[in-house]
């Protein structure tokens, strides 16, 4: 059976301060803030930021839950590195760029024949800028990150695991990935047509203690893979159950997409996601993406209470559209049909306090 998964949809991280995350992602990584909303689970309002490229494409979206209540514990059973694709020959630019911003970063390194530079978010999460072959996805640019050096979207992600066998089986049998290579203790897998946005590396670290699974500053919470339709999402859930992964969640309504989760054998929380018509443009225009806090309709009556509990923020100038940077004629996400009869779980929390 052909894989239902076409590549990475998004990766969700937990920084600490909301403003610190805004500044780092927009000014240091050069990402576009495409959505300000709130986490749709739990009783404490938490920002949910969505970062992406110029067109907010599937496979470019990093999301963040700024969570200052407690630090997370980085370890095995987590996505430990989020990797962006950058043009060939730009690793020196990124090394110099990180130095100018005075953020912790590595020298230029190489793995699987590709050069990359690693940088650490102030909260502790790691990002790789990986030189990749021609990538036609449109970058977001800033005053000091031009289109010829900017990130296109995701290259892939690194998962830390204590044991390879069962996580490898999950990737290949449940998600349809294929193993394509080994470099030291990194094992690479690809899905779909291969290339940027389709790469997962298992970092075999048998000595590394497990990381935390709860929200906690400095960690990745989950990774999401893209499926094309709600029918495919239902089929993916059925496939999990056929293989014995019977703890797959109900399908959840996330307003901009539909989601289903399962805890993989290595400990990493894996989401599969299908898009809804309009995507991130359901509640604001392409030009205005990320400029204001948007709430799903079932939270609007609680807006004042929610705002009072959130950290005040200022969206950096780097997120303001430059002339010609935004396409306005088409939705930013491909449409999907919701088959009749598919139950969707929707959270309607009673908020009880602030972080």
CB of 190 within 8 A of CB of 199? Answer: yes
Report the DSSP pairing between strands 252-253 and 257-263: antiparallel
- Which pLDDT belongs to residue 280? 84
Q: What structural domains and CATH numbers belong to the chain?
A: 7-319 (3.10.180.10)
Show the tokens assigned to 229: 């339709």
Q: How many CA atoms lie within 13 A of 124 on its CB side?
A: 18
Buried b (16+ CB within 10 A) or exposed e, 227-264: bebbbbbbebbebbeeeebeebeebbbbbbbbbbbbbb
* Torsion angles phi and psi, residue 254, rounded to 5: -100, 20
* Cα distance between residue 88 and residue 75, in whole Å: 31
Residue 337: Cβ within 10 Å count: 11
pTM score: 0.89
Q: One digit per residue, pLDDT tens: the chain, 355 residues?
A: 678 999 999 999 999 999 999 999 999 999 999 999 988 776 778 899 999 999 888 889 999 999 888 899 999 999 999 999 999 999 999 999 999 999 999 999 999 999 999 999 999 999 999 999 877 888 999 999 999 999 999 999 999 999 999 999 999 999 999 999 999 999 999 998 767 789 999 999 999 999 999 989 999 999 999 999 999 999 999 999 999 999 999 999 888 889 999 999 999 999 999 988 888 887 888 888 888 898 878 788 889 988 888 888 888 776 655 444 444 333 333 333 344 445 555 454 443 444 4
Return the ∠ at Cα 129 (arms to 189 and 104), rounded to 5°.
Answer: 125
* Cα distance between residue 261 and residue 229, in whole Å: 16
- Which pLDDT belongs to residue 275? 87
* Cα distance between residue 117 and residue 156, in whole Å: 14
Q: Which sign does the torsion angle of CA 9, 277, 51, 38 carry?
A: negative
Q: Which sign does the torsion angle of CA 293, 295, 301, 303 carry?
A: negative
Q: Residue holding tokens 């897998």?
A: 189
CB of 116 within 8 A of CB of 131? Answer: yes
């Amino acid at each position: 059976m052909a894989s239902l998964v076409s590549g990475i949809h998004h990766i969700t991280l937990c920084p600490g301060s909301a403003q610190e995350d805004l500044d780092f992602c927009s000014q240091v990584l050069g990402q576009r803030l495409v959505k300000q909303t709130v986490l749709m689970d739990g009783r404490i309002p938490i920002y949910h930021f969505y970062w992406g490229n110029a067109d907010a494409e599937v496979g470019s979206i990093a999301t963040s839950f700024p969570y200052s209540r407690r630090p997370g514990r980085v370890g095995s059973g987590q996505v430990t590195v989020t990797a962006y694709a950058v043009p060939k020959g730009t690793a020196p630019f990124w090394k110099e760029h990180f130095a100018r911003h005075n953020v912790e970063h590595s020298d230029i390194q190489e793995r699987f024949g590709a050069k990359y530079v690693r940088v650490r978010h102030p909260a502790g999460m790691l990002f790789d800028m990986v030189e990749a072959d021609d990538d036609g996805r449109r970058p977001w640019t800033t005053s000091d990150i031009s289109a010829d050096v900017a990130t296109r979207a995701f290259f892939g992600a690194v998962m830390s695991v204590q044991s390879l066998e069962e996580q490898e089986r999950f990737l290949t049998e449940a998600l349809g990935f294929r193993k394509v290579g080994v470099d030291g203790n990194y094992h690479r897998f690809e899905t779909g047509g291969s290339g940027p946005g389709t790469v997962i590396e298992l970092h075999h670290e048998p000595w590394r203690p497990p990381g935390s699974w709860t929200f906690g500053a400095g960690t990745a919470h989950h990774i999401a893979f893209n499926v094309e339709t709600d029918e495919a999402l239902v089929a993916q859930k059925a496939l999990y159950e056929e293989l014995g992964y019977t703890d797959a969640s109900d399908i959840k309504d996330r307003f901009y997409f539909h989601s289903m989760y399962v805890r993989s054998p290595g400990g990493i929380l894996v989401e599969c996601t299908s898009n809804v018509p309009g995507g991130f443009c359901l509640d604001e225009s392409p030009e205005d993406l990320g400029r204001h806090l948007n709430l799903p309709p079932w939270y609007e009556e609680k807006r004042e209470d929610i705002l009072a509990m959130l950290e005040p923020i200022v969206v950096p100038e780097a997120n303001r559209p430059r002339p010609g940077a935004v396409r306005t004629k088409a939705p930013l996400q491909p449409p999907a049909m919701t088959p009749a009869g598919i139950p969707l779980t929707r959270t309607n929390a009673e908020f009880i306090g602030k972080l």
